[in-house]
Structure 1
Amino acid sequence: MNPFTIRPAGVVVLFAVIGLLSATFAVSPPAMLSRPGLSVPSAAPEGADRYLPTVIDSASVAPTPAPEGMAWIPGGEFSMGSSDPRRELCGGNEPMEDARPIHRVSVGGFWMDRTEVTNAEFARFVAATGYVTFAEKVPRPEDYPGAPPEMLVAGSIVFVQPREPVPLGNALRWWRYVPGANWRHPTGPASNLTGRDREPVVHIAYADAEAYAAWAGKRLPTEAEWEFAARGGLTGQRYTWGADLTVEGKWLANIWQGAFPHQNDAGDGFTGIAPVASFPANAYGLFDMSGNVWEWCSDWYRPDAYALAVKAAGGGVVRDPRGVAQSESYDPAEPGMAKRVQRSGSFLCTDQYCTRYMVGTRGKGAPDTGSNHAGFRCVQDVAKR
């Protein structure tokens, strides 16, 4: 789950709560809590033996030298998507149909960050460039005509754990727009990054992630690249590590254990964000491709994107897909808002509410909206070396 697109400084919380409570809260926080800006607005799959990965990329051997902190993803052909039949509240209590149909996709080789971008890495970027993130900027009055001036303050979306059970159909019971929350202050003005250098940077809008990537000589991954890398060569598996949620009683990802959202048992050792690489890497050497924090992908979101891609490919292999155009982006929960794809799930994911930490599933978020469980990682093309 990413943050539900929670619009500016609580403005929408005051003016649009009633109308939005019935909306689907997908993987992100409610759009009513989002900010203005870029928005224009485990079972294996059936016939899993038909989906055996076949490496087709000619650059299957890693080029040298390897970029620091990155893993070589050899490229190849794989089966993308999920046919999991389970229903979830964060998806409107509907099966995850936006991850269907399972279809054959090929991607070329590329480098990928082994971990999510950390606070320390993002701090170096800011120190070198003076960059100011979206959450640190004050919303402009012209974007919110009629909003009280005291509500137009910089901030971002923060998970606030309820003290008692609450209805899971109302995500506003645990999401808040917190003035002063940003990447430097993850839970609000009173918080800081002391001891958090190795945690993923959060409260990152899409443009913030793009700016960092450009500075680092990298880019954001496509959704197909991200899923190919996350699978690590496994076929027909529900999780990035295999078919079972735990292995020998051990948790292999930072997700929620306990009664969501009021009781966190921390069975995986963490009640919130974990330092990167706290769990085993997949076969490609990538950490935290499931859980911890959501990660931006470059594709614009559309629930039937896979069906459209298969049709465009004539029913054959979809090669190096880039997703739909911005003008074609569509989220049934918020029809007027173009969204980008987000992947991996976060420390708040739980089978009680949102299972989109599974490797073939999809998330989405408004490009102008960050939260304290959304970050990113980058990729780099061979040509850049």
Structure 2
Amino acid sequence: MSCCAPARGPGDKSAVAVSSLKLDANSVKVTPRVRFAATRSIVGTSKPEIAGDGEGPIRTVTLKAFSLDAHSVTNARFAAFVAATGYVTEAEQFGWSPVFRGLLDGQGVPPPSNTATPWWVKVDGSYWAAPEGPDSSVEARMDHPVVQVSWADAKAFAAWAGGRLPTEAEWEHAARGGLENPKFPWGDEEPDDQTIFCNIWQGAFPHTNTLADGFLGTCPVEAFEPNGMGLYGMAGNVWEWTGDAFKVRSLSREAKVRNANASKTQEKVLKGGSFLCHISYCYRYRIAARSALTADSSASNTGFRLAYDD
């Protein structure tokens, strides 16, 4: 199963007030970019861990030169975008977004929004500037990745910033950091509850988090060591939207049904896993791992970074 939040249903809009959080675009720290030359590369794996996700088969791709932000888009950068454009996110238009139950204080918390994933709660008034609801704020988390943003929100930001969402193949190529075909951005060493490489879950999901990495939710975008190409957060912290539609590359009947549903509901590919991933439940912080979410969905653990054509 995935640690992605449940997808939104149709007809669920009930707008809330636009954020009053303002930030001058000129005061935001410039995000470094890492350039990748045109090359032949690979995407996927010959040893899928979660076959139903379409992790395989491994295949060769040709990539044009591109650049990728060194880290996820931060709350500070997204706030500058909103201040400059007045943009209203889809979570604001819907009036709610899924929040990980562990991030709430337990007082008056609504019942689960999905019995299959009871750790997700539908919280009214939750959106990027108040990611856990009206009583929360990102003012102390401006260097954390922006969350509660949909695919359309990410695309709108990209258009404003002069970039785009990366393809899945670009994302995987960049995540390998110059290594031939590692399982993780740092190599093949498996993280566990004591060996910390990134912001994922430690303990028994979803009830106990030992916080061995120091974080229950998101962390600053440069909190952990970058990969060999200088990219931060390519595993854990937040899922990252890509520009690709979700598809399982298989001729099986199950894959055809899955792909038809993904097309109908406009599911997009997300990469990298999040702070909720753990090998016992959502082993998706591997480079070849992937997940899917409907384009209008958002959540406590979903963000993005930008790519640029060179």
Band of TM-score, shorter chain: 0.7 to 0.9
The amino acid of 2:41's aligned partner reads F
Q: Aligned match of 1:78 in 37, 41, 45?
A: 41
TM-score normalised according to structure 2 size: 0.83
Whether the aligned pair in 1 keeps the contact of 2:4 and 2:301 (CA below 8 Å) is no
Residue of structure 1 in register with 2:309 after alignment: 381
Deviation at 1:296, TM superposition (A): 0.6
Determine if the alignment matches structure 1 residue 243 to structure 2 residue 184: no
Residue of structure 1 in register with 2:25 after alignment: none
- Please list the CA deviations of residues 26-62 of structure 1 after superposition, one character each: whole Å capped at 9, or x if unmatched: 452223x54659xxxxxxxxxxxxxxxxxxxxxxxxx
Whether the aligned pair in 1 keeps the contact of 2:186 and 2:227 (CA below 8 Å) is yes
The amino acid of 2:100's aligned partner reads F
Deviation at 1:115, TM superposition (A): 0.7
Deviation at 1:304, TM superposition (A): 1.4
Determine if the alignment matches structure 1 residue 125 to structure 2 residue 81: yes
Q: Aligned match of 2:5 in 26, 29, 41?
A: 29
Residues 139-288 of structure 1: pairs in structure 2 closer than 5 A? 154-161=95-102, 170-246=115-191, 250-288=195-233
The amino acid of 2:34's aligned partner reads A
Aligned equivalents of 1:237, 1:268: Cα separation in 2:
22
Q: Aligned match of 1:347 in 259, 275, 299?
A: 275
Deviation at 1:108, TM superposition (A): 1.6
Q: CA 1:72–1:136 in 2, change beyond 3 Å: closer, same or farther?
A: same
Q: Aligned match of 2:289 in 361, 364, 370?
A: 361
- Please list the CA deviations of residues 140-161 of structure 1 after superposition, one character each: whole Å capped at 9, or x if unmatched: xxxxxxxxxxxxxx01011103
TM-score normalised according to structure 1 size: 0.67
Aligned equivalents of 1:329, 1:284: Cα separation in 2:
38
Q: CA 1:208–1:240 in 2, change beyond 3 Å: closer, same or farther?
A: same
- Please list the CA deviations of residues 329-369 of structure 1 after superposition, one character each: whole Å capped at 9, or x if unmatched: 95477674120111111000111111111001111110000
Q: CA 1:332–1:351 in 2, change beyond 3 Å: closer, same or farther?
A: farther
The SS at the match of 2:117 is: helix
- Please list the CA deviations of residues 274-319 of structure 1 after superposition, one character each: whole Å capped at 9, or x if unmatched: 11011111111110001100101011011117x8xxxxxxxxxxxx
The SS at the match of 2:203 is: coil
Aligned equivalents of 2:179, 2:116: Cα separation in 1:
34
The amino acid of 1:100's aligned partner reads G
Aligned equivalents of 1:218, 1:200: Cα separation in 2:
17
The SS at the match of 2:81 is: helix
Determine if the alignment matches structure 1 residue 99 to structure 2 residue 82: no
The SS at the match of 1:209 is: helix
Residue of structure 2 in register with 1:370 after alignment: 298
210-219 vs 231-240, which deviates more?
A: 231-240
**Contiguous gaps of at least 5 residues in structure 2:** 13-29, 107-113
Aligned equivalents of 2:265, 2:55: Cα separation in 1:
20
Aligned equivalents of 2:150, 2:11: Cα separation in 1:
11
Identity of aligned residues (%): 41
**Contiguous gaps of at least 5 residues in structure 1:** 1-24, 38-66, 88-94, 139-153, 164-168, 308-327
- Size of the aligned set, in residue pairs, is 280
Whether the aligned pair in 2 keeps the contact of 1:331 and 1:339 (CA below 8 Å) is no
Aligned equivalents of 1:116, 1:329: Cα separation in 2:
33
Aligned equivalents of 1:181, 1:361: Cα separation in 2:
28
Deviation at 1:109, TM superposition (A): 1.5
Aligned equivalents of 1:334, 1:170: Cα separation in 2:
21
Q: CA 1:96–1:132 in 2, change beyond 3 Å: closer, same or farther?
A: same
Q: CA 1:216–1:179 in 2, change beyond 3 Å: closer, same or farther?
A: same
Whether the aligned pair in 2 keeps the contact of 1:78 and 1:104 (CA below 8 Å) is yes
The amino acid of 1:216's aligned partner reads A
- Please list the CA deviations of residues 256-290 of structure 1 after superposition, one character each: whole Å capped at 9, or x if unmatched: 01000010011112111011011111111110001
The amino acid of 2:124's aligned partner reads P
C-alpha RMSD over aligned residues = 2.6
The amino acid of 1:242's aligned partner reads G
Aligned equivalents of 1:227, 1:188: Cα separation in 2:
33
Determine if the alignment matches structure 1 residue 300 to structure 2 residue 300: no
Deviation at 1:208, TM superposition (A): 0.4
Deviation at 1:254, TM superposition (A): 0.5
